[in-house]
Amino acid sequence: MSVEVEVNENDLAEMVEQVWESYLDPEGVSPLMQTYDENQASEVHSSVSITGSWTGHIVYASSMPAARRAAGAFLAMEPDEVSEEDLSDALGELANIIGGNVKAMLPPGALLSLPQVVLAPEATARYPNAHRITGVYGIWDGEPVSISMWQSRGDNKEGAE
């Protein structure tokens, strides 16, 4: 099955904003400031896969301080008190929340995987036969955070290179 992707950068940015408003920056004092730099560095990342009516991956990547800060915000703890287990859990949940919201915008018949977390830079990840179609890249309190969508080539008319 081949579908046009129906989720664009603005949709993704809106979902990300909701996550910040709900959990990471409820006071509205440190939003994610977009840099539009798709090559910004990361130290950790998490992802969920979507298969079915659309096939690809949603990837959340950030620096380690940003990951600690996110886990701290989730758990109402100081970032340096966060355990590695909670850090991984929070990263997975970030990919899961955004992935779930992306899935809701896709045609019926898409399945979401459980999240995968890798405490290594996004640059170490390989998504076979997939390419990045859109993303939100920004700085959160001085630290890099990005959320990107990778589409499997077999599922994308533009993918036949």
Partner 1 sequence: MKILIADDSRVMRQIVIRTLRQAGFGDHELIEAANGREAVEMTQAHSPDLVLSDWNMPELTGIEALRQLRAAGNDVKFGFVTSESTPEMKEQAEAAGALFFIVKPFSAERFDEVFAPILG
**Contact positions toward partner 1, by CB under 8 A?**
18-19, 21-23, 71, 74-76, 85-86, 89-90, 92-93, 96-101, 103-104, 108, 110, 112, 114
State which residue, 119 or 159, has the beta carbon closest to partner 1: 119
CB of 49 vs partner 1, minimal distance in Å = 12
CB of 84 vs partner 1, minimal distance in Å = 13
d(CA 16, CA 1): 28
d(CA 144, CA 85): 21
State which residue, 108 or 128, has the beta carbon closest to partner 1: 108
CB of 37 vs partner 1, minimal distance in Å = 25
d(CA 93, CA 73): 13
- Quick one: which of 89, 93, 13, 15 has its CA closest to 48? 93
State which residue, 37 or 81, has the beta carbon closest to partner 1: 81
d(CA 104, CA 81): 34
State which residue, 98 or 136, has the beta carbon closest to partner 1: 98
Q: Are 135 and 9 in contact, with CB atoms under 8 Å apart? A: yes
